[in-house]
Amino acid sequence: MIPLLWGILHTLLVVAAAPWATGLTRRVKARLQGRRGASCWQPYRDLWRLLQKDSVIADSASWLFHITPYVVFVAVWLAATILPTLTTDMIMTPAADLIALVALLGVARFFTALAGLDAGTAFGGLGASREMFIASLGEPAMLMVTFSLSVLAHTTSPAHLVEFVLAGHVGLEVSVGLAMGALLMVALAESGRIPIDNPATHLELTMVHEAMVLEYSGRHLALMEAAAMMRQLLFLSLIICLFLPWGIARPGDAAPWLLVGLAAWIAKVAALSVVLAAYESWIAKMRLFRIADFLGGALLLALLATIFLYVSEAL
Amino acid sequence: MLGNTTLTEFLDGLRTVPQHQPWPRHLLDERAWMDLLHQLAESDWTLLGLWADGGEVHAALRDEEDGAVAVASLSCPERKYPSLSEVRPGAIRLERALRDLWGITPVGLSDPRPWLDHGRWPVSRPLALPRGPAPETPVDYPFLPVEGEALHIIPVGPVHAGVIEPGHFRFTCSGESVVRLEARLGYTHKGVEELMAGKPLAEAAKLAARLSGDSTVAYSLAFARAVEAATASEAPPRAHWLRALMAELERIANHLLDVGGVCNDAAFPVMLAHCTTLREEVLRANAACFGHRLLMDRILPGGVSHDLTREGGATLRKLCATLAQRLNILVDIYDDLPSLQDRTVGTGIVRPALARRFGAGGVVGRASMQGGDARKAVAYPPYDELDFAVPTQPLGDVNARIWQRIEELRESLSLVNQLMDGMPGGPLTRPIPTRGGEGMALVEGFRGEILLWLRLSEAGKVVRCHPRDPSWFQWPLLEAAIENNIVADFPLCNKSFNCSYSGVDL
C-alpha cells in the first residue's frame, strides 16, 4: 500500500514540478540579464490561464491536430515517470527502461511534427523539418549513451542503473565521462534550449519547437507547453539519476528516507536549472547547420564510450 | 568626353530656377533628360532622390568627385517621363511610389506593379488632379516568380510576433537556403505629402518630426534646414550646435539599441539588456536636458525650442563618460564571444559594388565601404568646425554593421564632448521671414542621409514637401544580402539593417 502511495506521489511530482523548474530557469536568466524576472510560479499561472481559454483551431486542421496535445502530454508524462526521482523502488521499474523512454519521446516528437505540418502553415513545416533534422542526430546519440551505460551495468533499467552507481561499481571511468558529455549535449538539444533552439524567441523564422506549436492555443497549447516543461525536467532527472544519484531512497528504506530523497532531488533539479540558465546566458544560439556538428559530436562521444568499454573489458 | 563631365558642367547652361536653395535646380526638356540618362550610365553620380510636384518630376543628384549637388526637373504634361531605373536601380521603388501617388508613368520601368497603393485607398493617384477612382475589385499583387524543383514559399508578415513595424516578406527557399526574398511595404502609408500640403510651418514641422519616430530629430532638422534654405534665413549659431548635440544623442540612443538588438536575435539577450539600460540613460538625460525623452519637436524652423542649462551640460558630460566606459565593456563581451561571432561573421554580405549601385548610405552603406556621410559631404554647421572621422568597414556582413555602429558610437560620444566644449552663446531662434521659395536639405540621421525638399508659398505655407528616407536605398540591399543565407539568419540580417518602414511608406 505504502509503495503505491509513493508511486502516485512520484507520478504527480514529475508533472507538478516541471513548471517550477522552468520558472526557476527563466528567473535566473532574467537575473543574469539584470532584470527582476517573473516569479518561479509564473508558469503555473500561465498554464492555468491557457487551460481556461478556448482553443482556436485552423479550418484546415484534421483530427491529428486535435489529438496531438493529449498524445504528446501523455507520452512525455509516461516517459518522465520511468526515471526514479525520490526512490528507486517504483511501480514502473519492471515495466520500462531507457529504450522505452527514448521511444516515448520519439512518439511525442513524431506527433508534434505531424501536427506542425497538419495546419498547412509555412512555419509549422519549417519547424517540423528542423525538428526532424535535429532528432535524426539526437536520437541515435541518446540511444548510444543508453547502450554504453547498459554495457557497463548490464541493465537498461534506470532504477538498476542508479543501484549500480550507488553500489560504488563505477569509479572514474573514461567511458562514463564521455557518456555524460554526450548526454549533456543531447539533453540541450532534446529539451530545446540554447544553443540549439531558443524557447524565448518571438522570431518565427528561427524557431524549432515553438514553430511546430505556433498554431496551438488555449488548453491545447497548455498541454503542449506543459509537455515541453516536463521534457526539460525529464532530462534534468536523467542526468541526476545517472550521474548524481546520491541521496535517493532505496527499496526497503523507511518513509523519512523517502522525504530525504525528495529533498535531494529538488535541490539537484534547482542546482541544474541554475547551471542551465547560467550556461544559456553566456552563449548565443548556434547557426542551424552547426547543430549537425554539435550532435554529431555527441554521437561520437557516446560511440567512443561504448567502444572504450568493450576494449577495456577485452583487455 | 562622356565619362569626364562633372555634374556642374553637364547642367551648366540649362535654365535654373531662381528661388531654389541651397543647391541649383535646373529645368530640363525631354532631350536634356535623355542626355542625363546617357550621362548617368557613364558617370558615378549618386541619385539622392526622385519625387514629383504637380506636373514636374525632380531628380536630385550628387557628383561624388566634387560633392556638387543639383536637382534636375522635367515637366511632364503627358504624365510620363523616361525612367531612371535602368541606370539607377535605386530609383525603381521611388518611381513605383511616384506612379501610385501622382499617376505619372515612368517609361521604361520594367516593374509594372504598384508599390504604396495596395488597392485599399478610396481613390487612386491621390496627389494628382483630378484623382482617379478606387479599383472596383481587390488588386492582386503578383510576387516575382521563382522556378525550380523543390522550392517552397514562406510568407511572413505584415503582422509580426514582435513589436515591430508591419511589412510583408516573401521567402522562396530550397530547404533552408533562401533563393529569393521579396519585401512588400506600404502598410503604414499615412499620406504625409498630402497632409503637409497647405499647412503652416509649425504644423508641417510636427508632421515631419513624426514621419519615422526613431529619427525624429533628424527629420526635424532636415525640415528646419530646408525651410531656412527656402526662405534664405539662417538659424543662430547656438541653435546649430544644440541641433547637432540632439542629433548625436539620437544617433547614440539608436545605435545602442541596434547593437543590442542584433545580439538578441542571435539568442544572446544579455547584450540587449545592457544596451537597453545604456539607452535608457541617454533618454533620461534627454528628458532632463531638453524636456523630451526622444527630443521630439525640439528643433524648429529658425532654431531650437529648448536651451541647454549648465546643469544639463554637466549631466551630458557625465553621461558621455559613463557611456564610453560601459560601451568598452560591452564591446569586449561581443569581441570575446565566439558563439556570437560565429553567427554574425560572414552572414548577410552586401557587396560594396551593389551598395554603390543603389547609392546606399548610412550604416548599411558604410559597412560596405561606402564613405558617404552628409555631415562630411555637405558639412552643414557646426560639423564643419568639428573633428570627427567617418569609419567604414570592408566586409559588409552583419559583423561589419555591428562594428560600424560601435565605431560611430565612439565618434558620436567624442562629438558630444566637442559640442559641449565649443558651444557658442547667443539667441536660440531667429524669425523665419514670410516668403516663398524652394529649399532642400541633406541631413545625416542614424540610418543615413535624409533628403527633404519643400516648396513654400508666398504666404509662408508648405505647398509641397517630400521627405526621402535613407531606407529607400537600403531595403533593396536586404533582399540581396539574404540570398544564399539560411532562413533562420534572416532576423539577424534584418536587424543589422534596421530599415525604417514608416519612413518609406510615407
Q: Which of B153, B176, B270 sits opposite A281 (nearest CB)?
A: B270
* R_g of chain B, CA atoms, integer Å: 22
- All residues of chain B having their beta carbon less than 8 Å from the beta carbon of residue A195 are 267, 339
Q: What is the pLDDT of residue B1?
A: 44
Q: Indicate yes or no: CB of B488 within 8 angstroms of CB of A287.
A: yes
B330 neighbourhood in chain A, CB within 8 Å: none
Band (pLDDT 50/70/90 cuts) for residue A315 is confident
Closest CA–CA distance from residue A193 to any residue of chain B (Å): 10
Closest residue of chain A to B170, computed from CA coordinates: A122
The CB-side HSE value for B279 (13 A sphere, CA atoms) comes to 20
Look at residue B281 and tell me if it is in a domain.
yes
Q: How far apart are the first and last CA of chain A?
A: 48
Cross-chain residue pair B491–A203, CB shorter than 8 Å? yes
Asked whether the beta carbons of residue A200 and residue B269 sit closer than 8 angstroms, the reply is yes
For residue A287, the chain B residues in CB contact (below 8 A) are 342-343, 486, 488-489
- Which residue shows C-alpha cell 529649399? B439
For residue B406, being part of any structural domain is answered with yes
The reply to whether B165 falls in a domain is no
pLDDT at A235: 94
**Nearest-angstrom CA–CA distance, B283 and B260:** 16
Q: What is the 3-state secondary structure (H, E, C) of chain A?
A: CHHHHHHHHHHHHHHHCHHHHHHHHHHHHHHHCCCCCCCCCHHHHHHHHHHHCCCCCCCCCCHHHHHHHHHHHHHHHHHHHHCCCCECCCCCCCCCCHHHHHHHHHHHHHHHHHHHHHCCCHHHHHHHHHHHHHHHHHHHHHHHHHHHHHHHHCCCCHHHHHHHHHCCCCCCCHHHHHHHHHHHHHHHHHCCCCCCCCCCCCCHHHCCHHHHCCCCCHHHHHHHHHHHHHHHHHHHHHHHHHHCCCCCECCCCCHHHHHHHHHHHHHHHHHHHHHHHHHHHCCCCCCCCHHHHHHHHHHHHHHHHHHHHHHHHHC
Pairwise CB contact (< 8 Å): B270 & A33: yes
Nearest to A28 by CA among A304, A279, A249, A220: A279
- What is the percentage of chain A residues whose pLDDT exceeds 90? 54
Say what the pLDDT of residue B500 is: 92
Q: How far is CA B41 from the centre of its chain?
A: 24
Across the interface, which of A34, A129, A130 has its CB nearest the CB of B274? A34
If you measure CA to CA, which chain B residue comes closest to A122? B154
Instruction: Tell me, yes or no, whether B206 and B104 share the same domain.
Output: no
Quick check: is B400 in a domain?
yes
> Could you give the number of structural domains in chain B?
2
Tell me whether residues B270 and A202 touch, CB distance under 8 A.
Answer: no
Instruction: Tell me the C-alpha distance between B200 and B460, whole Å.
Output: 7
Domain boundary among B108, B131, B154: B131
| Per-residue confidence (pLDDT) for residue B133, from 0 to 100 | 86
CB B490 within 8 A of CB B182: no
- Contact by Cβ (8 Å): B158, B187: yes
A288 and B161 in contact by Cβ < 8 A? Answer: no
CA distance B447 to B443: 11
pLDDT at residue B152, as a whole number? 87
Interface test with B, best of A206, A213, A215, A293 (most B CBs within 10 A): A206
Residue of chain B whose alpha carbon sits nearest to that of A120: B154
Cell numbers of B241, please? 550646435
Q: For residues B419 and B288, state if they share a domain.
A: yes
Grid coordinates belonging to B23: 543647391
Whether B491 and A198 lie within 8 Å, measured CB to CB: no
- What per-residue confidence (pLDDT) applies to B363? 93
d(CA A245, CA A237): 9
Distance CA A263, CA A265 (A): 5
Chain A positions touching chain B (beta carbons under 8 Å): 29, 32-35, 122-123, 125-126, 129-130, 194-195, 198, 200-206, 281-290
The verdict on residue B15 lying in a domain is yes
Same domain, B358 and B236: yes
CA–CA distances in Å: residue B174 to residues A292, B150, B498: 18, 6, 26
Residues B228 and B305 in one domain: yes
B254, part of any domain: yes
ipTM comes to: 0.85
- Which residues of B fall within a CB distance of 8 Å from A129? 175
Q: A203–B176: do the CB atoms touch at under 8 Å?
A: no
Tell me which of B262, B487, B489 to substitute to probe the interface with A (most A C-beta atoms closer than 10 Å): B487
Which CATH number goes with the domain that contains B92? 3.30.460.80
Rounded to the nearest angstrom, the minimum Cα separation between A205 and chain B is: 5
Spans in chain B with pLDDT lower than 70: 1-3
Question: Across A22-31, A244-253, B263-272, which has the greatest mean pLDDT?
Answer: A22-31
Per CB-CB distance under 8 Å, the chain A contacts of B342 are 284, 286-287, 290
Chain B residue with Cα closest to A278:
B270
Are residues B211 and B325 both part of a single domain? Answer: yes
CA nearest B165: which of B120, B212, B118, B207?
Answer: B212
Interface A–B counts its CB contacts (< 8 A) at 83
Q: What's the confidence (pLDDT) of residue A22?
A: 95
Looking at B131, B162, B180, which one is the last position of a domain? B131
Looking from the CA of A94 toward its CB, the CA atoms found within 13 Å total 1
Burial class (CB in 10 A: 0-12, 13-18, 19+), A68: buried
Amino acid at B258: D
End-to-end CA distance of chain B: 40
Domain membership of residue B7 as a residue range: 2-131
Name the minimum distance, in Å, from the CA of A15 to any CA of chain B: 28
- Domain termination site, one of B90, B116, B131: B131
Instruction: Please state, in angstroms and rounded to a whole number, the distance separating the CA atoms of residues B433 and B22.
Output: 16
CA angle B126, B128, B133 (to 5 degrees): 55
**Least CB–CB distance from A206: residue in B268, B340, B488:** B488
Return the closest-CA partner of residue A237 out of A77, A110, A2.
A77
Residue in B464, B461, B407 with CA at minimum distance from that of residue B432: B461
Specify the pLDDT at position A172.
66
Instruction: Identify all chain A residues contacting B340, using CB atoms and an 8 Å cutoff.
Output: 284
pLDDT at B3: 55
Per the prediction, chain A carries an average pLDDT of: 89
Instruction: Name the residue among A282, A283, A288 with its Cβ closest to that of B488.
Output: A288
pLDDT band at A171 (very low <50, low <70, confident <90, very high): low
pLDDT exceeds 70 at position A1: no
Tens-place pLDDT, residues A50-93: 999 999 998 888 999 999 999 999 999 999 999 988 888 777 77
Residue A230 confidence (pLDDT): 95
* DSSP SS3 for B357: helix
Q: Cβ of B273 and A35 within 8 Å?
A: yes
Rounded Cα–Cα distance for residues B469 and B505 (Å):
9
Q: pLDDT at position B484, please?
A: 85
Structural domain includes residue B179: no
DSSP state of B429: B
